Amino acid sequence: MSRVLKNTQATQTLTACGTVSCSAPEVMRDQRYSAKADVFSFGVCLWSMLTRKKPFHKKTDAQIVIAVAVEGKRLPIPAKAPKGMAKLMKACWQSEPKSRPDFKTCLETLQALQLPPASPHPLMRGTTIELETTPDDVVSDGKEDLVI
């Protein structure tokens, strides 16, 4: 935690595993950690994808460390989160690394959810891209054809 608190001038502090806002409590505390720290971060990534927001966006790094590593607080589960996704995020954010699922379990859980594709970003709605090739697009060097 002292590593984070010393650097109050930086806009984004990095831990050994990445940004503070996505780090597991044990990483923030500078304790030994395993792949389960990445599972915690994966849960934060799920939250970001679902909400389309940056985690803890209004908090300083010091505030994030105190909230997550000291007080045990977690990001709020979005109301629109499917039950299975909410359960997975909570499992990924367990305080005790041994209690977190492994990535195989995370994958199986996501596959079981069978979620529909997300709606496109508002700026992308109604935008379609069609790719097709014509004989004019084929370039030959005598060895093989390359489609551009």
- Rounded Cα gap, residues 55 and 36, in angstroms: 19
The one-letter amino acid code at 55 reads: P
- Rounded Cα gap, residues 147 and 89, in angstroms: 43
For position 111, what pLDDT does the model report?
A: 92
**Mean pLDDT over all residues of the chain?**
81
Q: Spell out the domain ranges in the chain.
A: 2-116
pLDDT digits (tens, 9 = 90+) for 46-71: 999 999 999 999 999 999 999 999 99
- Rounded Cα gap, residues 23 and 26, in angstroms: 8
Q: How confident is the model at residue 116 (pLDDT cuts 50, 70, 90)?
A: confident
Dihedral sign from CA coordinates of 135, 136, 142, 143: negative
Which CATH class, in words, describes the domain spanning 2-116? mainly alpha
For position 130, what pLDDT does the model report?
A: 64
| pTM exceeds 0.75 | no
More confident residue, 18 or 97: 97
Residue 145 scores a pLDDT above 50: no
Mean pLDDT of 84-89: 97
For position 140, what pLDDT does the model report?
A: 46
**H or E element that contains 108:** helix 103-113
